[in-house]
Amino acid sequence: MKLQRDSEAKSSRNEIIPLDMQLDVLLQTIENVLGEGVVKARIIKYKLQKSINSNDINKKLYAINKIVSEGKGINVVPTEENFDEIFDKTSELIVEVIAKTYIENKLQNEVEEALLEKQEKYVEEVKLGIIKKRKGAENGKTKKRLEQLIELDKFKLNKSIQALLRPEAFSEIVGQEIAIKAILSKIASPFPQHIILYGPPGVGKTTAARIALEEAKKLRHTPFSKKSKFVEVDGTTLRWDPREITNPLLGSVHDPIYQGSKKELSEFGVPEPKTGLVTEAHGGILFIDEIGELDNILQNKLLKVLEDKRVEFSSAYYDPDDENVPKYIKYIFENGAPADFILIGATTREPSEINPALRSRCTEVYFQPLTAKDVQKIVVNAASKLNVELEDGIPEYISRFTIEGRRAVNILADVYGYVLYNSKADPKEKAKIKMSDVEEVLAINRLKPYETIENESSMEVGHVYGLGVSGYLGSTIEIEAAVFEAKEKGHGTVRFNDTAGSMAKDSVFNAASVIRKITDKDIKDYDIHVNFVGGGKIDGPSAGAAITVCIISSLLNKPVRQDVAITGEISLRGKVRPVGGIFEKVYGARRKGIKLVLVPEENIKEVPKDLNDIKVNSVNNIEELMDIVFTN
């Protein structure tokens, strides 16, 4: 049946279109697909000139088959019996050639388009490179400025005297042995902790933290390496923009339009993320001095970084599918910047003034105020580094003018420069500093003694030392009282420094009740004047016990020991109540040269340990206090 249908189709085809015309159509199709030149080349190659021009349809079909198959088709001229079969096979070959040519042309177009696109990008890159290499921005002025900068950079000052005298080992940090041990225990560990350092300025907080990292690097069990950095910043000067235009601490993104990312990025609209100090400190320590002054919002952002150990960046201009975005920028936007570091914050504020959330993530270390002997030792160490000889009494004299180690070193450095200038001495030779040199420099700088130490008599009427505290600094408060019988009995007056504050006033009136109980005298019969020497403000009731003793001394004309300092609130019943700042107050008494400090019984546990140059006793009531201060 199939052979019959094929035979009928062929017969029908032959009746509609003559065979010679069909062969001409095939040849024309081949020329259209392959090209007239290709067809002619194949005719010559396979020696088909006579066959292709022959009137014999069998020879013409033979030639067309050879052209299409590139010589691989039939090897003999078709006969009448197999003509139709060869015709169909030749037609199929032509169809295959047409399909192949179509696909090749399509691929060629796509390749050409891709090459054109790549070529355009390459041309743009070449243009940018040429622009960068152009010297059009250079001119005579810019070249001269560059030469000036290079010339300036050749000149180097010697190491600053502050850097020279800065402690380089824990042994050079004076008076902070306990704090140093505490820092090391928290840093030199397989699991180092964030720390907040409390203490007055100039006692070595920053130096101790820096040296602690260097010591931790030497230990195998710590996570710190030789590459671990100590990145230092001051919280008082750290500024940032809430819109995240700039944030030197955490980092920020410079958008291509408003903030001006680099030229090669902005031309393609690519935002430029810039990492901050937290990433620079990755693997090391970020030290923030005066961390209590850091903006509250920025503190909260810092807490987030401490939790995540990374900084996230975002920008409306970032397109992850943009081929112009460099890989490092994609990495930062998609993964964030690493920020795994140990935070050490230092502050002169009270713990209660620090962000509670920040405190909860940090351990706390307290630096002690320096004593006069500590300052003296610092001066002696600095003199050794400067290679100078000090006249006797100079360290003690300088210690009267400051309680800060840094300030003491600066005073000595001033005197050192003054002596070298006046004597025209060679700095390589050992210079000698006299007491007169120190006195002259202190006078020039208009410095006054921090606390004047006078040769007080052992006993004195109406004169008592109280104790006060401001921040981390304790000091003595000099109180004096004068009592006279009133001109009219029952109409006596009480006067005191108004600048001392309401607490001082309350303490005076509390003392009146206690005085009446102790002495059986009514202060209304007397004119009483209480004076706080220097007019300092009393923020709390801690001067109550000292005021009471001072008035009683003047009222009864009983001398008071002058080597004693008193702190404690006085109650109406004569109880000496607990007060704050005991630790700092004791150090303030030591600076004054006080030999005995009397504190409320409930405060005795707050007294510093290992005190060799001062004694601290506790009292419970005014009677116990009087037994001590009125006894020579």
Q: What is the CATH number of domain 373-444?
A: 1.10.8.60
Burial of 630 (0-12, 13-18, 19+ CB in 10 A): middle
- Residue 436 CA to residue 416 CA, distance in Å, equals 13
Strands (E), 426-546: 431-433, 459-461, 463-470, 473-485, 494-496, 526-532
- Please report the pLDDT score of residue 47 as a whole number: 86
Q: What is the pLDDT of residue 9?
A: 44
Give dist(CA 461, CA 433) in Å, integer.
Answer: 42
Mean pLDDT within 80-107: 85
Residues with active-site annotation:
542, 585
* Cα pseudo-dihedral 210, 216, 218, 222, rounded to 10: -150
Kindly give the interhelix angle for 19-34 and 57-69, rounded to the nearest 10 degrees: 20
pLDDT of residue 261: 52
373-444 and 459-629, same CATH topology = no
The whole-number pLDDT of residue 259 equals 52
Task: Calculate mean pLDDT across residues 207-217.
Answer: 92
pLDDT band with cut points at 50, 70 and 90 for residue 266: low
> What is the per-residue pLDDT for 616?
92
Segment 21-28 mean pLDDT: 85
Shortest CA distance to 254 belongs to which of 275, 273, 269, 281? 273
Q: Above 50 in pLDDT, residue 317?
A: yes
Q: Containing H/E element for 196?
A: strand 195-198
Question: H/E element holding 280?
Answer: helix 277-280
- Which of 571, 546, 563, 555 is closest to 625 using CA atoms? 546
Rounded to 10 deg, the angle between the 57-69 and 83-133 helix axes is: 30
Top pLDDT among 337 and 130 is at 337
- Please tell me which residue, 235 or 163, carries the higher pLDDT value: 235
| Residue with more model confidence, 393 or 144 | 393
In this predicted model, what pLDDT tens digit does every residue of 393-415 receive, in sequence order?
999 999 888 888 888 999 999 99
Highest mean pLDDT among 252-256, 400-404, 540-544: 400-404
Question: What contacts 291, CB < 8 A, 6 or more positions away?
Answer: 196, 235, 299, 345, 346, 347, 354, 358
- Whether residue 278 is predicted with pLDDT greater than 90 in this model: the reply is yes
Asked if residue 625 has pLDDT above 60, the reply is yes
Average pLDDT of the residues in 295-300: 88
Which helix H or strand E contains 103, and what residues bound it? helix 83-133
Spatial distance between the Cα atoms of 464 and 441, rounded to a whole number of angstroms: 34
- pLDDT value at residue 113: 79
Residue 432, classed as helix, strand or coil, is strand
**Per-residue pLDDT at 287:** 96
Question: For the chain, what percent of residues have pLDDT higher than 90?
Answer: 25
pTM of the model: 0.66
- Average pLDDT score, the chain: 83
CATH class given for the domain over 164-366: alpha beta
Domain 459-629 has CATH 3.30.230.10: yes
**Residue 501: predicted pLDDT:** 59
- Per-residue pLDDT at 309 exceeds 70: yes
More confident residue, 144 or 262: 144
The DSSP bridge pattern shows strands 463-470 and 473-485 to be antiparallel
In angstroms, the CA 619 to CA 632 distance is 18
- Is the pLDDT higher at 159 or at 65? 65
**Average confidence (pLDDT) over 545-567:** 91
Q: Examine the pLDDT at 4 and tell me if it is beyond 50.
A: no
Confidence at 322, pLDDT banded by 50, 70, 90? confident
Residue 188 CA to residue 169 CA, distance in Å, equals: 15
Per-residue confidence at 8, pLDDT binned at 50, 70, 90?
A: very low
**Residue 6: band (very low, low, confident or very high) from pLDDT cuts 50, 70, 90:** very low
What number is the average pLDDT over the span 546-560?
91
Q: What is the arithmetic mean of pLDDT over 147-173?
A: 77
The pLDDT value recorded for residue 1 is 36
pLDDT exceeds 80 at position 497: no
pLDDT at 511 exceeding the cut of 90: no
Mean pLDDT of 473-502: 81
Provide the 3-class DSSP secondary structure of residue 67. helix
Residue 11 has pLDDT above 60, yes or no: no
User: What residue spans define the domains of the chain?
Assistant: 2-102, 164-366, 373-444, 459-629
